[in-house]
Amino acid sequence: MTDLAAAKKHRLAPLNTPTPLGADATRDISAELNALLADTFALYFKTKNFHWHMSGPSFRDYHLLLDEQSDQIFATVDPIAERVRKLGGTTLRSSGHAVRLQRLSDNDADFVTPADMLAELSQDNQRVAAFMRETHALCDRYGDVATASLLEVWIDEAERRTWFLFEAGRQS
């Protein structure tokens, strides 16, 4: 086989990343991580939406808080997708694919009060942490300690965001 023929064959080969976890783990954990990735994109966009549309007397503080939180959320996107690939799975291929998998609701309202923004984001972060715990339990069943370890950090980050949003939204 010529070098050109070998290169072409390699380019057309399926994405068979080797993993010791097995086909069932690849399928199940990849599916959960892809749903989590879709939720992460949804949470990122909602956080940025509220960041861009914040108003009122606490504008600066809330605007900066949501900017910081959106950066943290976005920082998990690539590691989640790359973990799917390391497991031998394939990940999201389009925004439409993400929308079909996301479990969080979008908020396209023309106006949302700052208090409602903080409360909604707090609830969404709580849901994301719960989804992560479910995925962690699945990883434990398959012995996927690497994914479980990543999830533990992200759960802590989601809980911290929830705490900050809750405290920032207190009325007294």
Per residue of the chain (172 residues), give pLDDT as tens: 677 776 666 565 566 787 889 999 999 999 999 999 999 999 999 999 999 999 999 999 999 999 999 999 999 999 999 999 999 999 999 999 999 999 999 999 999 999 999 999 999 999 999 999 999 999 999 999 999 999 999 999 999 999 999 999 988 6
* Domain covering 21-168 in this structure, CATH number: 1.20.1260.10
- The CA angle 146-148-152, to the nearest 5 degrees, is 120
- Separation CA 105–CA 108 (nearest Å): 10
**Whether the model pTM is above 0.85:** yes
Can you give the residue ranges of every domain in the chain? 21-168
CA distances 110 to 23, 49, 50, 106, Å, are: 45, 11, 11, 12
